Structures are given as structure tokens and as C-alpha cells.
Amino acid sequence: MSKRLEEILDYNKKFVINKEYEPFVTTKIPNKKMVILTCMDTRLTELLPKSMNIGNGDAKIVKNAGALVSHPFGSIMRSILVAVYGLQAEEVFVIGHRDCGMTGMHAEPIIEKALEAGVSQEKIDTLRHSGIDIDHFLQGFESVEESVKESVNTIKHHPLLPEYVTVHGLVIDPHTGELELIVNGNQ
């Protein structure tokens, strides 16, 4: 068993006692009135905010695999709407990245791994028979630019998004942090 949890809890006690949180004190309202949707890729954890000059308190950051809005009424879109209506965000940045694990991802290899890990074929069949499109659910995208454009479109045309919110689309290089503009929401 991993000792990660114990390590984290020990570290955390010292962090709080030593008041190491002090440089991070801020409010929940994003200073730069922006919300970022990006990928959960580990290379972006610090690189993405640093490369954009985003500090603690500057932006709401929503993450998932691939920076995707897969469903207009799913939890990602809800988070964006909460950032807009509850937290004064006025600008949305969808930021995909080069070399994303979701590029060219298909359901079949994941299902195979699930079977190897002990998930029964019966369960997978039951999902399929209950009308769940498991192949679509576990599908990535072919082009990160197209995917970013689609997510920008879904957000921009969402019936609950107010007109004043601008939605940009970008792609980041996970090595250099270089941003490439795909959709300029101001135009």
C-alpha cells in the first residue's frame, strides 16, 4: 500500500503550523475575472499558470482529461456558469495542449485494460445493453485544434451563457508553455 496519504498528512500539519499558506492568501473571486478550462496533464500543473502570469487568486481553473466540454449540461459547463454568475468571471479560456493523451484515444484499449484489471465482461455488456454509449464515452479526439474549437462553440452558444462573456480557444506546448491562439473571442 502506498504511504502517500500519510506523507501528505504529515507534510500538511507542518505546512499549516509554519504558516506556509501566507503567500497564497486571497479571495474566491478571481482577480482577473477569468475562468480557464484546461487538461489535467501533470506537465501543466505549474507551467500553465506561470506561462500566463496567473497567480493564486487570479483565475478559476477547471480541469479534465482533454480540456473538453463533452456535454452542454455536464459538470464542466456548470462550473463555467458558476464562475460567471457566482464569481464574476467575464472571460473564458479553453486551453488544449500538444501531445495530449486524449488525442487519438479510443474506447477499445481502455475496455481491454478494464477487463485485465478485473472488471467483468458481464458488467460491460450490461452497460451497453442499458443504452450507455461506452465507446463514445471513452473516445478522445483526433485534432486538438478542432476539439478546442468545438468546446469554445459549445460554451459560446450555451443558452445560459450571457452575451458579455468572451470565449477564447488556445493550445499550449507542454514543454515550453508557448500558447497558440485558435479562437480569439474578441473578434
Check residue 91 for interaction with Zn ion (CB under 5 A): no
**Residue 52 is which amino acid?**
M
How buried is residue 92: exposed, middle or buried, by Cβ count under 10 Å (0-12/13-18/19+)?
Answer: buried
C-beta closer to Zn ion: residue 29 or 40? 40
User: Residues 19 to 78: which contact Zn ion by CB under 5 A?
Assistant: 39, 41
Please identify, among the stretches 80-88, 100-108, 115-123, 135-143, the one whose residues bind Zn ion according to the rule CB under 5 A: 100-108
Q: For residues 76 and 79, what is the distance between their CA atoms, to the nearest angstrom?
A: 5
Closest approach of Zn ion to the CB of residue 133, in Å: 22
User: Residues 161 to 180: which contact Zn ion by CB under 5 A?
Assistant: none
Closest approach of Zn ion to the CB of residue 173, in Å: 12
Query: What letter would DSSP give residue 141?
Result: B
C-beta closer to Zn ion: residue 41 or 91? 41
Closest approach of Zn ion to the CB of residue 101, in Å: 5
Give the distance, in angstroms, between the CA of residue 45 and the centroid of all CA atoms in the same chain.
Answer: 11
Among 80, 84, 89, 100, binds Zn ion (CB under 5 A): 100
**Total residues binding Zn ion (CB under 5 A):** 3
Q: Are strands 91-97 and 34-39 parallel, antiparallel or unpaired?
A: parallel
> Which residue blocks in the chain are alpha helix, DSSP H?
4-17, 44-51, 75-87, 107-116, 121-129, 134-137, 144-156
Query: What letter would DSSP give residue 99?
Result: T
C-beta closer to Zn ion: residue 69 or 165? 69
Binding mask 126-165 for Zn ion (x = CB under 5 A): ----------------------------------------
Question: What values do phi and psi take at 93, rounded to 5?
Answer: -120, 110
Q: Is 130 helix (H, G, I), strand (E, B) or coil?
A: coil
C-beta closer to Zn ion: residue 38 or 81? 38
User: What residues line the site for Zn ion (CB under 5 A)?
Assistant: 39, 41, 100
